[in-house]
Amino acid sequence: MKNSNINQYDIVISGAGSIGLVQALLLAKHDIKIAIIDPKPLEAITKVDDTRNIALMQSSLKVLKYLGIFDKFYTKSRPLKKLHIVDATNRLLRAPEVVFSANELDIEYFALNVPMGAILTTLCAELPKHSNVTCLFNNKIEKLEQQTSSMALTLSDGLVINTKLLIGADGRNSVARKFANIDITTKLYPQTALGFAFKHDRDLGDFSVEFHRKNGPFTLIPMQNPEKGFQTSLVWSESHQDAERIKNLPKPELAELINKISNGIVGKITEIGYIASFPLANIHCSTYAQDRIILVGEAAHILPPIGAQGMNLGFQDAAIVDDLVLNSIKTDSDVGSDLVMKQYTKQRKMDINTRGKATDLLNISLLSNFIPMQFARGMGLFMLQKSKTMRVKIMQKALHPLGRTPTSML
C-alpha cells in the first residue's frame, strides 16, 4: 500500500484528540502513509484548560501496552482498585451500598485515572517517532470529493490530498460524519455535567465513590497526589439551572457543598481547579462507516458520564479499525471498500448500542419519580450487593469489549 505521491495517503485521520492520536499510533505500526489533521496548532492540542481526568479501563490500558507507552501513563496516574456506589437519592426506596473490587477479578486495579492533559501530551510526543505519519495541524478539511477508488480532500490552506480512507475522530460536531451523510439520533437530558479537580487534606485511597443523587451521579475519583496534600477529580451531574449556579459559587461555598454531599470523606478542601461543564446527551449514529469514512470516538457515539464508558469505547473503535486495516494490508485489498465499512459497523453496533442503552437506563432511573423504576433500580443494586457472581459479570462487561476482542486488546 505504498504511495510515491507526496500528497497521497493511505489513511487520513480527522481530529487529533485522544482517540485520533491513539488511532494514528496504532496505524503507524504498519507500512502505510498516514496524515492526521486538526484545526488547532500543536500547542493548542496539548494545552488543556480544564482539570478533567479519564479512567482508562483494562482494555484501553492493553492498547497502551501494545503501543509500548503504558509506563509513561502509569507514572502520571492513580490506580482505581474499588468502586463504591452509594444511593444518595433520599427517596423512600433506597438501595444498599455496593462495592466493586478489582480483587474479585484477580486483578490489581480496574483502571488508571489519568489527567486529560497528560494523555494528550504523551500521545503527541510519540508522533515524531513515526516517519510514516504526517501532522497537518492548524488545518481542516474544507471540501471532500469522492472518486472511483479514493477521495480528494481540500484543506483550509489550499492543499489537496488524496486518500483511500478517512477516519473521523473529530468529536460530536464531526465534519467527517457530515461528509458521509450519516444521520444521528440525539437524546438530550435535563442535566449538565461539571468536571473539575480539587485538593484536600484526607486521601480518598485507591477507590472511587459514586453517589447516586436524584439529579444524577456525583463521582469522586482519586488522582495522583502532589507533594503536599491530596487531590481528587469530580464529575457532578445536576439540572442545567443548578449546574450554572454551582459553577459560579464562591470557592469556599462550593467546597462546603462538596463536603456536605460527600459526607466529608475528603476532609478539608484547600483548592478548586477550573470547572468545565457540558450538557448531557446520548447520541448514536445510523451507521458507523459509509463512503470510505469511518467514525470513531465522539464522532460515533456520546454517552452520559456513567461508568467511564465514553473514551474507553473510543479506544475500542480505534483498535477495531486497526484490525480491519491490517487485514486489508495482508489481503492487498481496498481499505476503504464497502465490505470494510460493513464489517466495522457490524463489529461496533452491539457494543456501542448496549452501553448506550445501559447508561441511558441508569441515568433515567436516577431522574425518575416513577416508584416501580426506583424499586427496580434498588432491587438491582441489592442483588449486586449480595451476589459476587453478578458483580464479576458486570465488571467483566464494563472492562472489556463485547463481542470479538481486537488484537491490541488481547
Measured over the CA atoms of residue 368, residue 218, residue 71 and residue 99, the dihedral's sign is negative
In-domain check, residue 26: yes
Question: What pLDDT is attached to residue 366?
Answer: 79
Q: Do the beta carbons of residue 327 and residue 320 sit within 8 Å?
A: no
Alpha-carbon span 180 to 183, nearest angstrom: 9
Query: What H or E segment, with its residue span, contains residue 190?
Result: strand 184-200
Alpha-carbon span 344 to 367, nearest angstrom: 34
In-domain check, residue 316: yes
Sequence-distant (6+) residues with CB within 8 A of 355 are: 303, 309, 313, 402
In-domain check, residue 147: yes
HEC assignment per residue over 197-233: EEEECCCCCCEEEEEEECCEEEEEEECCCCCCCEEEE
Residue-range definition of the domain harbouring residue 299: 8-52+116-186+282-370
In-domain check, residue 358: yes
Residue type present at position 122: T
In-domain check, residue 221: no
The CATH number of residue 151's host domain is 3.50.50.60
Q: Do the beta carbons of residue 294 and residue 344 sit within 8 Å?
A: yes
Sequence-distant (6+) residues with CB within 8 A of 302 are: 172, 281, 282, 283, 310
**Per-residue exposure over 161-198, b if at least 16 CB sit within 10 Å of its own CB, e if not:** bbbbbbbbbbbbebbbbebbebebeeeebebbbbbbbb
Distances in Å between the Cα of 274 and the Cα atoms of 9, 52, 151, 251, 388 are 39, 9, 41, 11, 39
In-domain check, residue 83: no
Q: What is the number of structural domains in the chain?
A: 1
| φ, ψ for residue 95, nearest 5 deg | -95, 160
Question: What pLDDT is attached to residue 375?
Answer: 63
Mark residue 332 as left, alpha or beta (left: phi above 0; alpha: psi -120 to 50; beta: remaining). Answer: left
| φ, ψ for residue 271, nearest 5 deg | -160, 135
Question: What pLDDT is attached to residue 3?
Answer: 43
In-domain check, residue 331: yes
Alpha-carbon span 7 to 378, nearest angstrom: 58
pTM: 0.93
Alpha-carbon span 287 to 285, nearest angstrom: 5
Grid coordinates of 313: 469505547
Question: What pLDDT is attached to residue 90?
Answer: 76
In-domain check, residue 161: yes
Stretches in the chain below the pLDDT threshold 50: 1-4
Question: What pLDDT is attached to residue 369?
Answer: 66
Question: What pLDDT is attached to residue 18?
Answer: 96
Question: What pLDDT is attached to residue 380?
Answer: 74
